[in-house]
């Protein structure tokens, strides 16, 4: 049963701010018909010792939301962060083309987890909700040529795990 009328009431007259410049995140929000502005966050994305991957993804999302909320008095801040985990190793965005190739080699022919942490924070009250989702991904075996060709496109440079 849909509550589409109630759902619309929840978002009417609210200012939404995406704490990102990610084209993929913008696309997803537009797909659900949400009006929003963007205000990218700039945070330290270092992993803390002993931090579980899901907790790390949520912490990054919350840190991004809080950083943007610190510049605003109102609005609902939407923040997210996606990481890739293979063999208990967290892969962020590649530092350069060589790093992207190394990451793709690690993923080739194997299963890995993609974890996305999401946070919504009301800048006026400071109240936040956050969650993470895990997706298991099976990668087919990639040849060195396929990896090199993909890296050469530049596409993997802004994605966790290349």
Query: Tell me, what CATH number does 54's domain have?
Result: 3.90.950.10
- Look at residue 2 in the predicted model and tell me its pLDDT: 46
**CB-CB contact of 83 with 92 (8 Å):** yes
Burial label for 72, CB within 10 Å (0-12, 13-18, 19+), is middle
What are the residue ranges in the chain where pLDDT is below 50? Answer: 1-2, 9
pTM across the whole model: 0.86
- Look at residue 98 in the predicted model and tell me its pLDDT: 94
91 is in which domain, residue-wise?
4-158
DSSP state of 95: S
- Look at residue 4 in the predicted model and tell me its pLDDT: 52
Active site residues: 81
- Look at residue 50 in the predicted model and tell me its pLDDT: 92
For strands 16-18 and 76-86, give the pairing: parallel
- Total number of domains in the chain: 1
- Look at residue 71 in the predicted model and tell me its pLDDT: 93
For 39, the 3-state DSSP assignment is coil
């Amino acid at each position: 049963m849909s509550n589409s009328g109630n759902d619309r009431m929840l978002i009417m007259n609210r200012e939404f701010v995406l704490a990102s410049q990610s084209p993929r995140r913008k696309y997803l929000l537009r797909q659900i018909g949400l009006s929003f502005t963007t205000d990218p966050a700039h945070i330290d994305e270092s992993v803390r010792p002993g931090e579980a991957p899901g907790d790390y993804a949520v912490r990054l999302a919350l840190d991004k939301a809080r950083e943007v909320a610190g510049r605003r008095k109102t609005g609902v801040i939407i923040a997210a962060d996606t990481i890739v985990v293979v063999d208990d190793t967290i892969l962020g965005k590649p530092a350069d083309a060589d790093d992207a190739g190394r990451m793709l080699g690690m993923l080739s022919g194997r299963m890995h987890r993609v974890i996305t942490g999401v946070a919504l924070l009301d800048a006026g009250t400071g109240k936040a909700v956050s969650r993470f989702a895990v997706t298991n991904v099976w990668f087919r075996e990639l040849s060195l040529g396929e990896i090199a060709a993909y890296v050469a496109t530049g596409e993997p440079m802004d994605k966790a795990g290349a």
